[in-house]
Amino acid sequence: MISNILFDMILYSTPIILCVIGGNFAYKANVLNIALEGMMLSGAFVSMFIVYFTGNIPLAVAGALVSGLLLGLLFSFLGITCKGNVIVIGLGINMMVSGIAAFVLRLMNSSNIYVKTINVSIFKVNIPLIENIPFIGKIISGHTVITYLSFFLIFVVWLLMYRTKLGIYVRTVGEDEDAAKSVGINTDFYKYMAVLIGALFSALAGVNLAMENLMLFTNNMTAGRGFIAIAAIYCGQGRPVTSSLFAIIFGLAWALSVDLSTYAGSASGLFNVVPYVLMTVVLAVVSIYRYKNNKMRGYKFE
């Protein structure tokens, strides 16, 4: 039972972690990217679309990543080059992906994309030695490739953010754009990079969600995970490791709501609320803690 919940925690954390570590860059660059949700959905949709018609899994992953990058470029072009309102653009992209998916599904005369011929078990990795450890083996082993990759990527992103020129410049641009400009940093370029990294990771999260775990796409299957990721980023103030920890907490909430709902009988539908409400509470607690000693008046608008 407990090992089941913890196993699911890792399962449900994965897409959120990927969105979080990708979205961190945009947050640090002061470009609020709420299109993570749509980019994730496009990754899910494009990967399943390609698998459905070609059966070629590497091509599907590549296609999903390209679709994410294209959305990232669209977002950056409108938001950074044309100086549009990034929140509106983000919502626009979310609506567009869901709209296009609905349109294509309608043309295919189907309510979902499901591939029977490929069994999802081919993506599962059983780690040889760890697999046999009694309790931990059950939790850690048997996840998908992208799941392991995502936990590894937390470390990579940390390196990228704090130990490379790209990361430092992105953070500089976010902190004070004029200062960054005055020392000759191409601020637009680093903002573009920040958004594109987020887009790439979100698309990967979509692949994990739809193709790796279910081999199934239904519209709006991301169910607000992108927004949960943004909440996690806010809670962790854009620090990769801290934000990822919050992402795991939300993964746990999701696992609890799914696993416990099977025991709840008629009230099971209500358990789906848990992740969203928990997130609101965590966000409030973190904010209270952060502004506890703040004596400044006024409100900063993001």
Which residues of the chain form contacts with other proteins (CB under 8 A)? 34, 74, 78-79, 82-89, 91-93, 95-96, 98-100, 102-103, 106-107, 223-224, 227-228, 230-231, 234, 266-267, 269-270, 272-273, 276-277, 279-280, 283-284, 287-288, 291, 297-302
Cα→Cα distances 92→27, 103, 193, 216, Å = 19, 16, 20, 25
Nearest approach, Cβ of residue 111 and other proteins (Å): 12
Biggest alpha carbon–alpha carbon distance for the chain:
62
Cα→Cα distances 257→16, 253, 264, 277, Å = 16, 6, 10, 11
Nearest approach, Cβ of residue 286 and other proteins (Å): 9
Nearest approach, Cβ of residue 24 and other proteins (Å): 15
Nearest approach, Cβ of residue 124 and other proteins (Å): 29
Nearer CB in complex with other proteins: 135/289: 289
Nearer CB in complex with other proteins: 216/286: 286
Nearer CB in complex with other proteins: 151/227: 227
66, containing H or E segment? helix 57-76
Nearest approach, Cβ of residue 254 and other proteins (Å): 12
Nearer CB in complex with other proteins: 54/220: 220
79 class by beta-carbon count within 10 Å (0-12 exposed, 13-18 middle, 19+ buried): buried
Nearer CB in complex with other proteins: 163/290: 290
Nearest approach, Cβ of residue 171 and other proteins (Å): 20
Nearer CB in complex with other proteins: 66/223: 223
Long-range contacts of 67-71 (CB under 8 A, 24+ apart): 67/42, 67/43, 67/203, 68/39, 68/42, 68/43, 68/199, 68/200, 68/202, 68/203, 68/204, 68/206, 69/196, 69/199, 69/200, 69/203, 71/35, 71/38, 71/39, 71/42, 71/97, 71/199
Cβ contact 240:170 at 8 Å: no
